[in-house]
Amino acid sequence: MSAIALQERPGAARGESDRLEVALGSRETPIGVLHLAATAQGVVRIGFGSQEALDDMAVELGFGPGSDGAGDPAWLEEPARQLDQYFTGTRRRFDLALDRRFSHGFYRRVLDTLIGVAYGTTVSYGELARLAGAPRAARAVGTAMSTNPIPLIVPCHRVVRSDGSVGEYGGRPEVKSWLLEHERSHLGS
Protein backbone atom coordinates (compact mmCIF):
# COMPACT_ATOMS: atom_id res chain seq x y z
CA MET A 1 0.00 0.00 0.00
CA SER A 2 1.22 3.43 -0.84
CA ALA A 3 0.63 6.69 0.94
CA ILE A 4 -0.02 10.10 -0.46
CA ALA A 5 -0.83 13.33 1.24
CA LEU A 6 -3.85 15.20 0.15
CA GLN A 7 -3.89 18.94 -0.23
CA GLU A 8 -5.48 21.51 1.98
CA ARG A 9 -9.00 20.83 3.16
CA PRO A 10 -11.70 22.77 1.37
CA GLY A 11 -12.62 25.84 3.36
CA ALA A 12 -9.26 26.16 5.09
CA ALA A 13 -7.94 29.69 5.07
CA ARG A 14 -5.37 30.50 2.41
CA GLY A 15 -1.86 29.90 3.73
CA GLU A 16 -3.14 28.02 6.74
CA SER A 17 -1.04 24.98 7.59
CA ASP A 18 -4.10 22.91 8.55
CA ARG A 19 -3.66 19.99 6.19
CA LEU A 20 -5.25 16.58 6.41
CA GLU A 21 -2.79 13.81 5.80
CA VAL A 22 -4.27 10.64 4.37
CA ALA A 23 -2.64 7.32 3.57
CA LEU A 24 -4.20 5.70 0.52
CA GLY A 25 -3.82 2.14 -0.66
CA SER A 26 -5.50 -0.64 -2.59
CA ARG A 27 -6.23 -4.21 -1.66
CA GLU A 28 -7.30 -7.10 -3.86
CA THR A 29 -10.27 -8.97 -2.33
CA PRO A 30 -12.78 -11.62 -3.42
CA ILE A 31 -15.20 -8.81 -4.36
CA GLY A 32 -12.59 -6.88 -6.35
CA VAL A 33 -10.17 -4.11 -5.54
CA LEU A 34 -10.88 -2.05 -2.45
CA HIS A 35 -9.30 1.35 -1.98
CA LEU A 36 -8.56 2.33 1.61
CA ALA A 37 -8.00 5.77 3.08
CA ALA A 38 -6.87 6.37 6.65
CA THR A 39 -5.79 9.34 8.72
CA ALA A 40 -3.97 9.35 12.04
CA GLN A 41 -7.45 9.13 13.63
CA GLY A 42 -8.54 6.01 11.75
CA VAL A 43 -10.15 4.66 8.59
CA VAL A 44 -11.85 7.54 6.78
CA ARG A 45 -12.97 5.98 3.48
CA ILE A 46 -13.27 2.67 1.63
CA GLY A 47 -14.06 2.61 -2.07
CA PHE A 48 -14.63 -0.09 -4.63
CA GLY A 49 -12.08 -0.32 -7.44
CA SER A 50 -14.58 -1.14 -10.14
CA GLN A 51 -16.36 2.14 -9.51
CA GLU A 52 -13.66 4.56 -8.58
CA ALA A 53 -9.95 4.83 -9.05
CA LEU A 54 -7.62 5.66 -6.21
CA ASP A 55 -7.08 9.13 -7.65
CA ASP A 56 -10.84 9.65 -7.80
CA MET A 57 -11.07 8.82 -4.09
CA ALA A 58 -8.56 11.56 -3.33
CA VAL A 59 -10.69 14.03 -5.29
CA GLU A 60 -13.84 12.78 -3.56
CA LEU A 61 -12.24 13.43 -0.20
CA GLY A 62 -11.88 17.03 -1.32
CA PHE A 63 -8.16 17.07 -1.98
CA GLY A 64 -5.78 16.75 -4.86
CA PRO A 65 -2.36 15.22 -5.32
CA GLY A 66 0.80 17.21 -4.79
CA SER A 67 0.83 18.08 -1.10
CA ASP A 68 4.10 18.56 0.77
CA GLY A 69 3.31 15.97 3.46
CA ALA A 70 2.39 12.32 3.30
CA GLY A 71 0.11 10.10 5.30
CA ASP A 72 1.79 7.29 7.19
CA PRO A 73 1.42 3.95 5.36
CA ALA A 74 1.31 2.27 8.79
CA TRP A 75 -2.20 3.71 9.21
CA LEU A 76 -3.35 1.18 6.60
CA GLU A 77 -1.70 -1.93 8.06
CA GLU A 78 -4.30 -2.87 10.67
CA PRO A 79 -7.32 -2.08 8.48
CA ALA A 80 -5.82 -4.19 5.67
CA ARG A 81 -5.08 -7.05 8.09
CA GLN A 82 -8.61 -7.02 9.49
CA LEU A 83 -10.18 -6.87 6.03
CA ASP A 84 -8.06 -9.88 4.99
CA GLN A 85 -9.32 -11.72 8.09
CA TYR A 86 -12.91 -10.78 7.27
CA PHE A 87 -12.57 -12.20 3.77
CA THR A 88 -11.06 -15.46 5.03
CA GLY A 89 -13.95 -15.80 7.48
CA THR A 90 -11.87 -15.48 10.65
CA ARG A 91 -13.06 -11.99 11.63
CA ARG A 92 -16.69 -11.21 12.41
CA ARG A 93 -16.28 -7.81 13.99
CA PHE A 94 -13.91 -5.01 13.07
CA ASP A 95 -11.93 -3.43 15.87
CA LEU A 96 -10.61 -0.32 14.18
CA ALA A 97 -10.48 3.37 14.89
CA LEU A 98 -12.75 5.25 12.50
CA ASP A 99 -12.28 8.82 11.38
CA ARG A 100 -15.93 9.86 11.05
CA ARG A 101 -15.36 13.42 9.77
CA PHE A 102 -17.44 12.72 6.65
CA SER A 103 -20.56 11.49 8.51
CA HIS A 104 -22.82 14.00 10.22
CA GLY A 105 -26.25 14.45 11.74
CA PHE A 106 -28.94 11.86 11.10
CA TYR A 107 -26.76 9.91 8.67
CA ARG A 108 -24.07 9.58 11.32
CA ARG A 109 -26.65 8.37 13.86
CA VAL A 110 -27.89 5.75 11.39
CA LEU A 111 -24.35 4.57 10.59
CA ASP A 112 -23.49 4.41 14.30
CA THR A 113 -26.61 2.29 14.86
CA LEU A 114 -25.71 0.08 11.90
CA ILE A 115 -22.43 -0.96 13.49
CA GLY A 116 -24.53 -2.89 16.04
CA VAL A 117 -26.13 -5.12 13.37
CA ALA A 118 -24.52 -8.49 13.95
CA TYR A 119 -22.38 -10.42 11.48
CA GLY A 120 -24.45 -12.80 9.36
CA THR A 121 -27.73 -11.02 10.06
CA THR A 122 -29.74 -8.41 8.20
CA VAL A 123 -32.04 -5.55 9.09
CA SER A 124 -34.53 -3.75 6.86
CA TYR A 125 -34.27 -0.05 6.09
CA GLY A 126 -37.41 0.49 8.17
CA GLU A 127 -36.07 -1.52 11.11
CA LEU A 128 -32.82 0.42 11.03
CA ALA A 129 -34.78 3.69 10.97
CA ARG A 130 -36.68 2.55 14.06
CA LEU A 131 -33.46 1.49 15.83
CA ALA A 132 -31.95 4.90 15.02
CA GLY A 133 -34.95 6.62 16.63
CA ALA A 134 -36.68 7.76 13.42
CA PRO A 135 -39.29 5.08 12.56
CA ARG A 136 -40.65 6.92 9.51
CA ALA A 137 -37.26 7.61 7.92
CA ALA A 138 -36.68 4.42 5.91
CA ARG A 139 -35.93 6.39 2.73
CA ALA A 140 -33.46 8.61 4.57
CA VAL A 141 -31.81 5.44 5.91
CA GLY A 142 -31.42 4.32 2.29
CA THR A 143 -29.67 7.58 1.50
CA ALA A 144 -27.42 7.13 4.54
CA MET A 145 -26.48 3.67 3.25
CA SER A 146 -25.66 5.01 -0.22
CA THR A 147 -23.41 7.71 1.25
CA ASN A 148 -21.66 5.47 3.80
CA PRO A 149 -17.97 6.44 3.49
CA ILE A 150 -16.72 3.26 5.20
CA PRO A 151 -18.63 0.27 3.73
CA LEU A 152 -17.83 -3.23 5.01
CA ILE A 153 -16.52 -1.90 8.32
CA VAL A 154 -19.78 0.02 8.77
CA PRO A 155 -21.80 -2.89 7.32
CA CYS A 156 -24.39 -1.29 5.01
CA HIS A 157 -24.47 -4.59 3.09
CA ARG A 158 -26.52 -5.97 6.02
CA VAL A 159 -29.43 -3.64 5.26
CA VAL A 160 -32.08 -5.17 2.99
CA ARG A 161 -35.50 -4.25 1.66
CA SER A 162 -38.58 -4.94 3.78
CA ASP A 163 -39.47 -7.94 1.57
CA GLY A 164 -36.03 -9.44 2.30
CA SER A 165 -34.63 -8.81 -1.17
CA VAL A 166 -31.08 -7.57 -1.33
CA GLY A 167 -31.51 -4.25 -3.09
CA GLU A 168 -28.60 -2.16 -4.28
CA TYR A 169 -25.05 -1.95 -2.98
CA GLY A 170 -22.88 0.58 -4.71
CA GLY A 171 -24.65 -0.31 -7.93
CA ARG A 172 -23.66 -3.97 -7.59
CA PRO A 173 -26.30 -6.12 -5.87
CA GLU A 174 -24.25 -9.25 -6.65
CA VAL A 175 -21.52 -7.96 -4.33
CA LYS A 176 -24.06 -7.42 -1.55
CA SER A 177 -25.40 -10.97 -2.08
CA TRP A 178 -21.86 -12.36 -1.99
CA LEU A 179 -21.06 -10.56 1.28
CA LEU A 180 -24.26 -11.76 2.96
CA GLU A 181 -23.68 -15.35 1.84
CA HIS A 182 -20.03 -15.15 2.90
CA GLU A 183 -21.07 -14.11 6.41
CA ARG A 184 -23.81 -16.76 6.66
CA SER A 185 -21.39 -19.47 5.55
CA HIS A 186 -18.91 -18.55 8.30
CA LEU A 187 -21.39 -18.23 11.17
CA GLY A 188 -20.77 -21.80 12.38
CA SER A 189 -16.97 -21.74 12.06
Each domain of the chain, given as residue ranges in start order, spans: 1-102, 105-185
Q: Are 40 and 75 in contact (CB under 8 A)?
A: yes
Which H/E stretch holds residue 159?
strand 159-160
- Which class is 105-185 in CATH? mainly alpha
3-class DSSP state of 177? helix
pLDDT confidence of residue 89: 96
Q: Are 79 and 29 in contact (CB under 8 A)?
A: no
| Residues belonging to the active site | 156
pLDDT confidence of residue 18: 53
pLDDT confidence of residue 119: 97
Q: Are 80 and 25 in contact (CB under 8 A)?
A: yes
Provide the pairing of β-strand 23-29 with 32-39.
Answer: antiparallel
pLDDT confidence of residue 67: 31
pLDDT confidence of residue 51: 52
pLDDT confidence of residue 3: 44
Who's near 56: CB < 8 A, 6+ residues apart?
47
Q: Please tell us whether the domain made up of 1-102 is placed in CATH 3.30.420.40.
A: no
What is the pLDDT tens value at each position of the chain, 189 positions in all? 444 434 334 444 444 445 578 888 889 999 999 999 999 999 999 988 855 567 777 777 666 643 323 689 899 999 999 999 999 999 999 999 999 988 999 999 999 999 999 999 999 999 999 999 999 999 999 999 999 999 999 999 999 999 999 988 776 899 999 999 999 999 976
